[in-house]
């Protein structure tokens, strides 16, 4: 790998940190706005559910998300503040469906210490000012003027240092805050409330007419206002989120740490509060936000599990729960650990993550591309084409599968036993290759062979009409839909037929100057059974032409350029937008926007899908139309957010595909590949496919063992009834079914800290090694732990060796046939010894001191890279002769590490506490000891995500012949559920992309006017420096979303053609 790295997100953050509800996009529209750390999503509430409107990245980690409505406005504005002290006010532009920045600014201060408990941002209910608590002891105020514009900010001193929560109170003539804080008993304002519950950490201001505030503690809930004080005890719980139900503030939803949802009611007589009531509604994911939408529908945003859309029923269900989950939104966060495996042994990596926490813990299998689940297959060689046909026009299912060979056509059908069986349609010509087949109106079927077009009754299966090709010409290419047939013969003749009841009428005949290579008349207009346009691909001049039907007038001609002829054209529509897709013989695909009324082709884009000719076919899955591109690299083309996306299918090579929706195999595809015909169903169409394995407990570490085909995880389970009683386990899972097949419980207070599958020298067995720590409540630092070595026998974990250590085993690595453990501040190497009695033991060989805590260790050859708790990297070397470990070099920066990985012999990648990535380089050629002893920082970048783990590997199939296949990659997983890829680029490519990134920064403006360069600058308590030797792949790949004008702008600035830019960027998207 190299020092030039490209960082890109393969799976966006899914951890919901904030959410709010209001009329943002229009005065009458109710919107849910969700913040997922570095992204915001705007949804529209419709009777059908939530409809996504916008999903945009924010150049910052969102600290505050609030809707507010300045005086005189009909709809809400959105206030966002980021953790790096930037804020902006956004407004919706209904015309362009974009966000407009109303105001923005910086609220950082030279003085003050950043708050420990997180930043607080609040807006006065009467919209007089915005309050921010960013630094201990300071409360920043941004006032609004009369016109709703923001004025200059100023600070107010807060004497309370340990602030837990601040809220504005309703119904005060002057903006009034209520402060909840630790230590001193003092709440400023019109009244005070002393001696609150110890665990109180949430305030809820109550709107008029009641006013006042609710203080949510761990054991009590208190309502207080100037003239009332009510308290009720609750079952001990930590309330994580609240949502107000009624505008008058008499009912609230409270979500606690165990995922229980309660309803809190303030009972009142007119404006006098008489008491509080609380009722358990049911269980949800552990909520981080609760937004009450409408009609008892509530959005539960979660950081530890899937976010949910729930409905609160009036009557409890059988289990006594009022909660009904309407929809779940996948959340991978927090990804605590993951491993990259190739379970299907296809050469494509899958990521198995330890996701979620507490009861919402789960394993997630994340795979790129779309899987085909094989249902049936037959061996069939030399398939030249396939079509499915129905037995009558209104039959919802396909009955026949027409398979065409070089000199014959065979017909398969489902028999009564639901088996695929060869059958016959008498009217079909079976002694010739079929060029095309289709269902037609009036219960007819169309078959095109090189000599004729036959119309066959689908009920009697007899031929009703035959149209013969003109004498001396044979039909080369054909296409048809329910009412139309378009044929091309040698010599460039284009013939258009219309299908009648038992008749075919030649409507038009046109001679073109060159031979025709492909045709399509897929109906995408208003009429579902006939098309007004025909797409034609040509030999010789390499063009696609659009003809009008039925008169076959040439409307548009688009020269494709190059020397590769189009092999397949397809008219299709996604999300209401019409496209013309044109596949070339070399595996490239061109797509154009097609204007249905004028036939005009615009926005040409070219992507490379494979290296062999592509055949395009539409199919539908879940009522949406997609396109299947069959080639050596089969791909599904679909559209999301009005953008075409390409997702590879997990099959090696597909020559033909046709949808085959039979009663026995609903929603299936028939796929011809490598001498085989397969019927299979297709996964949900999305780029990353995620499968969830709920565990009901929190998995902390995972590793895979190829030999035993198992996963082992370290997990912990919270006992629901007793407090502080956690049980820790080592669990063995089957790698196909993900069932627990064996469990090894750890001792009381013993935590599993690390896990490894490895083998030792002089021993052929493969073992699982587990490092543990005894975490005793009275100890600050574990002083005892164990290394356990297991072997998998008959699907059981058998403990072979147990070795006690003097501290927590934070990391385990296989190292030269030995075991390298990081135990508190020490690196310790263990030999695998055979005792006289034949048993094994771990014998300590040597060690190395001098770390604060050696949390993360990676090895390569004899080198050991240690990521310390707070002292960045150090590089150690194991000396065989002396049997000793020595320090070679160190990075003297004070980085608090969160993950490390070795990129190559000299370059090491680290992630640190302030959401940065950096690389260091070993300097073996240094002139002095000092130089050699220093790891030089070569790359720095602000990722904005807390990385928990790096692993070498790739999410995509590596094709040896593509450029991208040679680029080494590292995958990372973060707290927010991001799966990202870091790719090491060759220098030439890096320089090119860096230039592109610089140009993109000028053209793509960040939401809220936030600056990309500042966002990506490396930032910690000590310094802020520009990113170097890292590129933001998300920004670069957004080039493909730009409209043509902006692309041209960039192309001009770069002096590179748009097509070339698109191609190079498309190539990069193949990395993930």
Partner 1 sequence: MWKQIGGREAGQIRPNSFSNRVKSNRVSSLQLSNYKDIVSPHRGSINSLQVDLTEGRYLLSGASDASVAVYDVQRATDYEGDGLIAKHKSIVVVDKQHEQGHKYAVSSAIWYPIDTGLFITGSYDHYVKVWDTNSTQVVMNFKMPGKVYRTAMSSLATSHMLIAAGTEDVQVRLCDIASGAFAHTLSGHRDGIMTVEWSTSSEWVLVTGGCDGAIRFWDIRRAGCFRVLDQSQSQLGRRPPLLERSALNKVSTSKSSSGGQNLSAKSRPQQRKSTNGNGIKQSPIGRIPAKASVRQRLHPGMLSGQDRATAHYGAVTGLKVTDDGMYLLSAGSDSRIRLWDVQSGCNTLVNFETVRLQTSKAIQLATSQDPALVFVPCMTAVKAFDVWSGKTHMAFRGHYEYVNCCWFSSQDQELYTGGSDRKILVWSPSRLISDELVDHLVSVAFYFTFHFNFYLCALKL
Contacts with partner 1 in 117-156 (CB under 8 A)? 117-118, 135-138, 140-141, 152-156
Instruction: Rank residues 257 and 1064 by Cβ distance to partner 1 and give the closer one.
Output: 257
- On whether the CB atoms of residues 671 and 654 are closer than 8 A, the answer is yes
- Least gap, CB of 177 to partner 1 (angstroms): 5
Options 807, 910, 939, 953; binder of partner 1; rule CB under 8 A = 807
Residue 271 sits in the site that holds partner 1 (CB under 8 A): no
Q: Which is nearer to partner 1, 892 or 992 (CB)?
A: 892
If binding is defined by CB under 8 A, does position 866 make contact with partner 1?
no
Choice from 93, 159, 541, 706 touching partner 1 (CB under 8 A) = 159
Peptide bond into 334 cis (omega under 30): yes
Identify residues 331-360 at the interface with partner 1 (CB under 8 A). 333-334, 336, 357
Segment near partner 1 (CB under 8 A), from 328-336, 367-375, 408-416, 446-454?
Answer: 328-336
Q: Does 927 bind partner 1 (CB under 8 A)?
A: no
Binding window for partner 1 (CB under 8 A); candidates: 165-173, 501-509, 517-525, 1052-1060: 165-173
- For residue 490, the cross-strand partners are none
Indicate whether 1025 belongs to the interface with partner 1 (CB under 8 A): no
928 binds partner 1 (CB under 8 A): no
- Interacting residue with partner 1 among 613, 782, 867, 1008 (CB under 8 A): 782
What does each C-alpha distance from 910 to 651, 848, 979, 991 come to in angstroms?
A: 35, 21, 16, 23
Give yes or no for residue 781 binding partner 1 (CB under 8 A): yes
Which residues, 6 or more positions from 1051, have their beta carbon under 8 angstroms from its beta carbon? 1057, 1058, 1061
**Listing from the earlier edge strand, what are the strands of the sheet with 588-594?**
566-574, 577-584, 588-594, 601-608
Residue 642 interacts with partner 1 (CB under 8 A): yes or no: no
Of 450, 458, 448, the closest CA to residue 521 belongs to 448
Nearest to 65, CA basis, from 27, 38, 45, 92: 38
Residue 780 interacting with partner 1 (CB under 8 A): yes
The token pair at 1020 is 């910690």
Binds partner 1 (CB under 8 A): choice among 806, 860, 879, 1052: 806
Q: Which is nearer to partner 1, 138 or 278 (CB)?
A: 138
1055 lines the binding site for partner 1 (CB under 8 A)? no
Our finding on whether 585 is near partner 1 (CB under 8 A) is no
Residue closer to partner 1 (CB basis): 119 or 1029: 119
- Site pattern 733..772 for partner 1 (x: CB under 8 A): ------------------x-x-------------------
User: Does residue 386 contact residue 401 with C-beta atoms inside 8 Å?
Assistant: yes
Considering beta carbons, is residue 525 or 694 the nearer one to partner 1? 694
Q: Per rule CB under 8 A, is residue 630 in the interface with partner 1?
A: no
Q: Which is nearer to partner 1, 652 or 849 (CB)?
A: 849
Instruction: Figure out which of the listed residues 548, 825, 923, 1038 binds partner 1, where binding follows CB under 8 A.
Output: 825
Task: Point out which residues pair with 417 in neighbouring strands.
Answer: none
Window 526-555: residues binding partner 1 (CB under 8 A): none
192 binds partner 1 per the rule CB under 8 A: yes
Rule CB under 8 A: say whether 161 interacts with partner 1: yes
200: buried, middle or exposed (CB in 10 Å: 19+, 13-18, 0-12)?
buried
The one segment of 243-251, 366-374, 677-685, 807-815 that binds partner 1 by CB under 8 A? 807-815
Nearer to partner 1, 581 or 853 (CB): 853
* Cβ-based nearer residue to partner 1, 226 or 991: 226
Between CA 974 and CA 821 the distance in angstroms is: 24
Angle CA 831–848–896, to nearest 5: 120
The rounded distance, in Å, linking the Cα atoms of 311 and 325 is 6
Residue 877 class from Cβ within 10 Å (0-12 exposed, 13-18 middle, 19+ buried)?
Answer: middle
Burial of residue 101 (CB within 10 Å: 0-12, 13-18, 19+) is middle
Q: CB neighbours of 621 closer than 8 A, spacing ≥ 6?
A: 667, 682, 684, 685
Report the alpha-carbon distance of residue 971 to residue 8 in Å, rounded: 10
The reply to whether 976 sits near partner 1 by the rule CB under 8 A is yes
Closest CB 750 distance from partner 1, rounded Å = 11
Report the first-to-last Cα separation within the chain, whole angstroms.
Answer: 17
Residues 6+ apart with CB under 8 A from 262: 234, 253, 254, 255, 256, 278, 279, 280, 281
* 93, 188, 219, 931: residue in contact with partner 1 (rule CB under 8 A): 188
Tokens 């597909």 correspond to what residue? 654
Q: Does 87 bind partner 1 (CB under 8 A)?
A: no
| 217-236: contacts with partner 1 (CB under 8 A) | 225-227
Alpha helices in 616-768 (DSSP H): none
**Helices of type H across 822-978:** 929-932
- For partner 1, which residue of 172, 507, 766, 1056 counts as binding (CB under 8 A)? 172
Kindly state whether residue 915 participates in binding partner 1, applying the rule CB under 8 A. Answer: yes
Q: Examine residue 727 and tell whether it contacts partner 1 (CB under 8 A).
A: no
Binding residues among 446-505 for partner 1 as defined by CB under 8 A: none
Unique residue bearing structure tokens 């919402």: 360
CA distances (Å), origin 148, targets 107, 126, 130, 167: 19, 11, 11, 21
Tell me how far apart the alpha carbons of residues 911 and 873 are, in angstroms, rounded to a whole number.
Answer: 10
**Binding residues for partner 1 restricted to 411-440, rule: CB under 8 A:** none
How many C-beta atoms surround the C-beta of residue 246 within 10 A? 12
User: Which 89-118 residues touch partner 1, going by CB under 8 A?
Assistant: 109-114, 116-118
CB 1031 to partner 1: min, Å: 24
What CA–CA distance (Å, rounded) separates 668 from 689?
Answer: 18
Q: Which two tokens stand for residue 284?
A: 């949800």
Q: Which stretch binds partner 1 (CB under 8 A): 444-452, 652-660, 778-786, 1058-1066?
A: 778-786
Q: Which is nearer to partner 1, 724 or 881 (CB)?
A: 724
DSSP labels, 892-923:
-S---EEEEEE-SSSEEEEEETTSEEEEEE--
Segment contacting partner 1 (CB under 8 A): 49-57, 183-191, 376-384, 433-441? 183-191
Q: Which residues in 872-901 contact partner 1 (CB under 8 A)?
A: 890, 892-894, 896, 898
Closest distance between partner 1 and the C-beta of residue 62, in Å?
14
Binding-residue total with partner 1 (CB under 8 A): 90
Tell me the closest approach of the beta carbon of residue 186 to partner 1, in angstroms. Answer: 7
Q: Check if the beta carbon of residue 293 is closer than 8 Å to that of residue 30.
A: yes
* 698: contact with partner 1 by CB under 8 A: yes
81 pairs with which residues across the strands? 64, 87
Closest distance to partner 1 from the beta carbon of 916 (Å): 11
Q: Does 259 bind partner 1 (CB under 8 A)?
A: no
Closest distance of CB 78 from partner 1, Å = 24
Omega before 550 cis (within 30°)? yes
Question: Under the criterion CB under 8 A, does residue 390 sit at the interface with partner 1?
Answer: no
Q: Decide if residue 933 touches partner 1 (CB under 8 A).
A: yes
């Amino acid at each position: 790998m190299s020092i030039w790295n490209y960082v890109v997100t393969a799976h966006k953050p899914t951890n919901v940190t904030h959410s709010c509800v209001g009329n943002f996009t229009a005065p009458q529209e109710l919107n849910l706005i969700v913040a997922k750390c570095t992204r915001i999503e705007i949804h529209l509430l419709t009777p059908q559910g939530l409809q996504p409107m916008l999903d945009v990245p924010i150049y910052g980690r969102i600290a505050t998300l609030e809707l507010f409505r300045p005086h005189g406005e009909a709809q809400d504005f959105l206030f966002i503040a980021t953790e790096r002290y930037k804020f902006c006010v956004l407004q919706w532009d209904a015309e362009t469906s974009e966000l407009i920045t109303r105001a923005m600014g910086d609220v950082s201060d030279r003085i003050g210490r950043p708050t420990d408990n997180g930043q607080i941002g609040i807006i006065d209910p009467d919209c007089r000012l915005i309050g921010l608590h960013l630094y201990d002891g300071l409360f920043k105020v941004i006032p609004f003027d009369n016109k709703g514009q923001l004025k200059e900010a100023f600070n107010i001193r807060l004497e309370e240092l340990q602030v837990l929560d601040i809220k504005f109170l309703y119904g005060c003539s002057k903006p009034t805050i209520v402060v909840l804080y630790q230590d001193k008993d003092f709440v400023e304002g019109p009244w005070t409330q002393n001696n609150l519950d110890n665990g109180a950490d949430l305030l809820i201001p109550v709107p008029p007419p009641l006013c006042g505030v609710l203080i949510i503690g761990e054991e009590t809930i208190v309502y207080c206002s100037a003239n009332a004080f009510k308290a009720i005890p609750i079952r001990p719980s930590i309330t994580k989120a609240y949502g107000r139900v009624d505008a008058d503030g008499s009912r609230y939803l409270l979500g606690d740490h165990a995922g229980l949802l309660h309803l809190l009611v303030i009972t009142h007589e007119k404006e006098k509060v008489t008491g509080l009531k609380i009722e358990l509604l049911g269980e949800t994911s552990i909520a981080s936000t609760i937004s009450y939408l409408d009609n008892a529908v509530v959005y539960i945003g979660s950081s530890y599990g899937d976010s949910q859309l729930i409905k609160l029923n009036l009557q409890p269900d059988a289990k006594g729960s009022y909660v009904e989950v309407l929809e779940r939104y996948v959340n991978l966060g927090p990804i605590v650990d993951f491993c990259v495996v190739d379970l299907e042994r296809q050469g494509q990596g899958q990521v198995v993550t330890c996701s979620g926490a507490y009861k919402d813990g789960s394993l997630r299998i994340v795979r790129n591309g779309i899987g085909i689940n094989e249902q049936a297959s037959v061996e069939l060689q030399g398939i030249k084409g396939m079509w499915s046909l129905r037995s009558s026009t209104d039959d919802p299912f396909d009955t026949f599968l027409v398979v065409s060979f070089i000199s014959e056509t065979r017909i398969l059908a489902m028999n009564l036993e639901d088996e695929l069986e060869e059958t016959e349609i008498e009217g079909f010509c079976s002694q010739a290759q079929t060029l095309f087949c289709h269902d037609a109106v009036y219960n007819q079927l169309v078959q095109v062979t090189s000599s004729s077009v036959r119309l066959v009754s689908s009920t009697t299966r007899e031929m009703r009409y035959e149209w013969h090709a003109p004498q001396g010409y044979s039909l080369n290419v054909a296409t048809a839909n329910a009412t139309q047939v378009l044929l091309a013969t040698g010599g460039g003749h284009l013939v258009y037929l219309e299908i009648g009841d038992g008749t075919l009428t030649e409507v038009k005949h046109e001679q073109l100057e060159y031979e025709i290579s492909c045709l399509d008349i897929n109906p995408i207009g208003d009429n579902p059974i006939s098309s007004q346009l025909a797409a034609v691909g040509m030999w010789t001049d390499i063009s696609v032409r659009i003809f009008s039907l039925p008169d076959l007038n040439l409307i548009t001609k688009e020269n494709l350029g190059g020397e590769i002829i189009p092999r397949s054209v397809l008219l299709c529509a996604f999300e209401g937008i019409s496209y013309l897709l044109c596949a070339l013989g070399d595996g490239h695909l061109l797509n154009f926007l097609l204007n249905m009324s004028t036939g005009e082709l615009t926005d040409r884009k070219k992507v490379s899908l494979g290296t062999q000719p592509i055949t395009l076919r539409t199919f539908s899955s879940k009522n949406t139309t997609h396109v299947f591109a069959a080639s050596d690299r089969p791909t599904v083309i679909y559209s999301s957010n009005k953008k075409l996306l390409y997702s590879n299918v997990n099959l090696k090579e597909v020559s033909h595909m046709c949808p085959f929706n039979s009663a026995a195999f609903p929603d299936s595809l028939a796929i011809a590949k490598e001498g085989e015909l397969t019927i299979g169903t297709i996964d949900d169409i999305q780029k990353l496919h995620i499968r969830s394995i709920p565990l009901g407990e929190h998995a902390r570490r995972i590793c895979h063992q190829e030999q035993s085909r198992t996963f082992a995880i370290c997990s912990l389970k919270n006992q629901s009834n007793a407090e502080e009683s956690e049980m820790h386990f080592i669990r063995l899972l089957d790698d196909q079914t993900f069932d627990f097949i064996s469990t090894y419980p750890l001792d009381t207070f013993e935590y599993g800290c690390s896990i490894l599958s490895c083998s030792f020298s002089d021993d052929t067995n493969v073992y699982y090694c587990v490092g543990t720590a005894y975490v005793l409540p009275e100890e600050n630092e574990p002083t005892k732990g164990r290394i356990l070595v297991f072997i998998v026998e008959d699907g059981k974990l058998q403990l072979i060796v147990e070795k006690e250590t003097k501290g927590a085993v934070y990391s385990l690595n296989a190292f030269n046939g030995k075991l390298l453990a990081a135990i508190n501040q020490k690196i310790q190497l263990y030999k695998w010894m055979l005792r006289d009695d034949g048993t094994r033991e771990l014998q300590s060989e040597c060690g190395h001191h001098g770390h604060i805590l050696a949390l993360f260790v990676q090895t390569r050859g004899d080198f050991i890279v240690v990521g310390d708790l707070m002292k960045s990297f150090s590089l150690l070397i194991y000396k065989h002769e002396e049997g000793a470990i020595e320090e070679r070099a160190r990075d003297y920066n004070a980085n608090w590490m969160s993950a490390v990985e070795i990129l190559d012999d000299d370059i090491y990648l680290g992630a640190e506490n302030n959401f940065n990535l950096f690389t260091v380089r070993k300097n073996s050629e240094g002139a002095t000891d000092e130089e050699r002893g220093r790891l030089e920082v070569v790359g720095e970048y602000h990722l904005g995500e807390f990385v928990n783990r790096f692993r070498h590997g790739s999410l995509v199939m590596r094709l040896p012949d593509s450029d991208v296949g040679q680029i080494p990659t590292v995958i990372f997983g973060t707290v927010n559920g991001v799966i990202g890829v870091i790719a090491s680029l060759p220098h030439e490519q890096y320089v090119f992309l860096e230039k592109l990134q610089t140009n993109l920064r000028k053209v793509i403006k960040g939401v809220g006017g936030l600056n990309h360069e500042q966002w990506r600058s490396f930032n910690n308590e000590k310094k802020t420096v520009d990113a170097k030797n890292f590129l933001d792949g998300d920004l670069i790949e957004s080039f493909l979303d730009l409209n043509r004008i902006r692309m041209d702008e960039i192309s001009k600035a770069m002096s590179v053609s748009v097509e070339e830019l698109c191609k190079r960027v498309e190539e990069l998207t193949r990395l993930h």
